[in-house]
Amino acid sequence: MSKYLTGADLSAEIDKLLAEPGGSHAVAFWGRGSEDRLPDKGQGDFRLICNLMSGGTNPYVIEKMKLSNVKHLSTLHAKVYAGAKSVVVASANASINGLGLEGLEQAKWLEAGIQIEKSEEQSKWFEKQWNKAEYVDKFAIEEAIRIWERRTPPPINSFADFDPNKERLPLLYWGDNSDWDISKASVEEQLGPLTPEIEALVDDSLWVQTEEDAEKLPPGTWLLVWQQGSGKVALKSVPPEWFCTGRILKNSFVFTGEDLPEDSVLRSERHDLSPFPLDEMFLRSFYSTINSEKFIELRISDDAGPWFTDRRIDLTREFWKSCKSEYLRLVNGN
């Protein structure tokens, strides 16, 4: 007997099978929160095959699971959830749609599947894939993280679809229009002759305050850059903009009137693939949130130390959650 499943009914049946001890699941892509659906939050009795290296599986999630239960297979695209008595074959991945999206970003995708009785044929198929697959170890996780961080998810059309619970969120960066002078010799050593194009590229770069900051800004990191005005508040007259990090330039400039050379980070060429549009409703929620007393630490810097401290990164996560709440409040007219 088979049953056609969609929407909430499909999700409910998948949840039952994932929670069942002894399950055997060959599901290509796994996203945030899927480990909680497995026995003992991913530490219990189950076997799982995923596609770890295509950029569709969140490796931070797999890392939380009991790795002796997990294998990966680069050719896997199936979504087969198997318990003791029934199996669901579906289009639905485990909390991710295979396009690099998670949470709110995938909520609008329509999924469907078939529930069938467990069969010897299905069991043999799983065992065949299990024997072909490789166990996930720390080296596989490290490589998968590099792939995951370099992926380019489809852009979302509105801040309403932005997920503030993602592992890597855009960082916040502010400037105050301080004047600087390019260190010509150092820049030419790294980029070649200082043509007008190179000069413009360096002028558009951002100050990297310390080595610790540079480590937090690998290529492809998104920053929301805004201007600080008097009173340590974000200027509304200069709208924020997106900046995607590229190469770090060593000793690329000096602040005007000073002698100490400073590092900067160049803008990546992928700047047109921003996380979401900075529309009027977002800007209202942004200014209301960033200029609140709760986030004053994100508006005041310590020139002697790194800007991107663990404390500020944690506070940035809280900022995005608060900003999203404010945005939804404004959209709903509350």
- CATH number of the domain enclosing 134: 3.30.870.10
pLDDT at 95: 58
pLDDT for residue 120 is more than 90: yes
Looking at the structure, tell me whether residues 110 and 244 fall in a common domain: no
Q: What mean pLDDT do residues 64-72 have?
A: 96
pLDDT for residue 268 is more than 60: yes
pLDDT at 2: 85
pLDDT for residue 101 is more than 70: no
Whether the CB-CB separation of 51 and 77 falls below 8 Å is answered with yes
Residue owning tokens 């599947």: 113
Whether the CB-CB separation of 190 and 250 falls below 8 Å is answered with yes
Q: What mean pLDDT do residues 217-223 have?
A: 91
Looking at the structure, tell me whether residues 93 and 117 fall in a common domain: yes
pLDDT at 231: 78
Looking at the structure, tell me whether residues 170 and 296 fall in a common domain: yes
Model pTM greater than 0.85?
A: no
Give me the percent of the chain exceeding a pLDDT of 70. 92
Nearest C-alpha neighbor of 170 from the set 89, 241, 93, 232: 241
What are 315-334's pLDDT values in tens digits? 999 999 999 999 999 988 76
Looking at the structure, tell me whether residues 125 and 173 fall in a common domain: no
pLDDT for residue 182 is more than 50: yes
pLDDT at 124: 96
Helical packing angle, 310-331 and 280-290, nearest 10°: 130
- SS3 labels along 73-104: CCCCCCEEEECCCEEEEECCCECECCCCCEHH
- Its domain, for residue 171, covers 159-331
Looking at the structure, tell me whether residues 116 and 164 fall in a common domain: no
Looking at the structure, tell me whether residues 68 and 10 fall in a common domain: yes
Average pLDDT of the chain, as a whole number: 88
- The domain tally of the chain equals 2
**Of the candidates 133, 150, 167, which is a domain's last residue?**
150
pLDDT for residue 98 is more than 70: no
Q: What mean pLDDT do residues 229-246 have?
A: 90
Looking at the structure, tell me whether residues 125 and 180 fall in a common domain: no
